[in-house]
Amino acid sequence: MLAFGAIADRFGRRRIMLIGLVLLGVASLATAFVVTAEQLIAVRMAMGVAAAMNTPSGRPTRRRAHIPTLNNAPLGRC
C-alpha cells in the first residue's frame, strides 16, 4: 500500500483509484471462470493488488468530495 500511495501522489489519486477499481472488477469477474487452484490464486493476487491501489487514495478522494465542515466528522454522523 505504501508503494501505491507514492504512485498515487505522483500520477494522481483519482487515476490510480479508477485503475484499481477496474482491475478489481475484472479480477472479480475472472473468478467465475477459473478452473484450477493456481488460476484462483493468481486472480486473488490480482484482487489484492487492486485493493492495495484503492486503499491509499480512497480516503483523500472521499474527503475532497464532501462538504468541508463534515470532513472531520465521524463516518456514522455524515
What's the average model confidence in pLDDT over 35-47?
Answer: 95
Helix axes 37-65, 13-30, angle to 10 degrees: 150
pLDDT, one tens digit per residue, over 55-72 is 776 666 666 655 555 555
pLDDT at 17: 85
**Assigned domain for 68 exists:** no
**Assigned domain for 75 exists:** no
Domain that holds residue 39: 2-62
**Assigned domain for 39 exists:** yes
**Assigned domain for 52 exists:** yes
- Say whether pLDDT at 49 is over 60: yes
Phi-psi region of 12 (alpha: psi -120 to 50; beta: other; left: phi over 0): left
Please state the domain count of the chain: 1
Place of cell 498515487: 8
Average pLDDT, the chain: 80
pLDDT, one tens digit per residue, over 2-11 is 777 788 878 8
**Assigned domain for 77 exists:** no
- Say whether pLDDT at 40 is over 90: yes
